[in-house]
Amino acid sequence: MAMRDQIARRITTGELLPGARLPSERQMQDGAGIARGTIREALFQLEAEGLIYRRDRSGWYVCSAPVVYDPTRWAGFMTYVAEQGRRPQTRTLSTAETPLGEAARHVGVHPEDPVYLIIRRRLIDDRPVLVERIMVNPALAPGLFQHSLDGSLTQILRTVYGVEVVRNQVDMRPCALVGAEATALEAKPGTPGLKVVRSSFDAAGRVVEYDEEYWRHDAVRIHVDIEVAPEVQARVSAAP
């Protein structure tokens, strides 16, 4: 597709820098004499490839390089983003102590009992890249909302409440950004996303945090480096 290839080439050669705003669809149509549907098809393909992204009611922009996330590492968002030379930010959107029905079982709380619910937006270089819903058992961290939550929640739980995370269970799957998640990320409803669900446990097996993250799909790249143990290597080598 000529339009897709032209824009992709301008991005890969550096003519269009990360964060640059593309001309409007109407401007592209007037300048190239191409049907509006053809232009949109090219833009949607570039979006699926992670080269550009759409800000609702604002237009199309060139993506920055995705941040690399290794779910096996004991490093929080603020740490691993900063390590890659990027600027992380966390903004707390809302906090509530409220019953959540059956969802409360994720943190070991009876459906009728209140749960701490924290909704935060996280940014990289001023761009919203993920929104998260965090549940915490109030019995583990009474008075949690007295502390600033615009940083590492895990650190607050460890240093203030003596609650240490020793195990994480992570589940990842594709999703579409809709509703409150799309609004918080300035994304058009239906934009591709990645849903990451994390349960964090202490040494007693209690759930310390239950976290649902909704990422823009182009903002993150999953990378896991696994070293095979010598005894496993030996078994593989001996196999017929």
Residue 184 has pLDDT above 60, yes or no: yes
Among 183, 189, 190, 16, smallest CA distance to 94 is for 183
Which residue intervals of 34-165 are DSSP H helices? 36-48, 77-83, 153-161
Q: Are residues 29 and 100 in the same domain?
A: no
Domain assignment present for residue 227? The answer is: no
What is the tally of structural domains in the chain?
2
Q: Cα separation of 31 and 22, whole Å? A: 13
Domain assignment present for residue 233? The answer is: no
Q: What is the mean pLDDT of residues 42-48?
A: 86
The pTM for the full model equals 0.84
Q: Are residues 145 and 87 in the same domain?
A: yes
Among 129, 177, 118, smallest CA distance to 151 is for 118
Q: Is 100 exposed, middle or buried (0-12, 13-18, 19+ CB in 10 A)?
A: buried
Domain assignment present for residue 230? The answer is: no
Among 12, 124, 6, smallest CA distance to 23 is for 6
Going by the DSSP 8-state scheme, the letter that residue 114 receives in this structure is: E
Q: What is the mean pLDDT of residues 196-211?
A: 93
Domain assignment present for residue 54? The answer is: yes
Count Cβ atoms below 10 Å from residue 195 Cβ, excluding itself: 17
Domain assignment present for residue 77? The answer is: yes
Q: Cα separation of 46 and 182, whole Å? A: 19
Tokens 């996330």 correspond to what residue? 69
pLDDT tens-digit map of 56-72? 778 888 888 899 998 88
Q: Are residues 144 and 189 in the same domain?
A: yes
Q: Are residues 19 and 55 in the same domain?
A: yes
Q: What is the mean pLDDT of residues 80-105?
A: 94
Give the pLDDT of residue 98: 94
Q: Are residues 52 and 158 in the same domain?
A: no
Q: 186 vs 127, 171, 172, 177, 232, CA distance in Å?
A: 9, 25, 22, 10, 47
CATH code of 99's domain:
3.40.1410.10
Q: Are residues 40 and 117 in the same domain?
A: no
What is the residue range of 41's domain?
2-62
Q: Are residues 76 and 29 in the same domain?
A: no
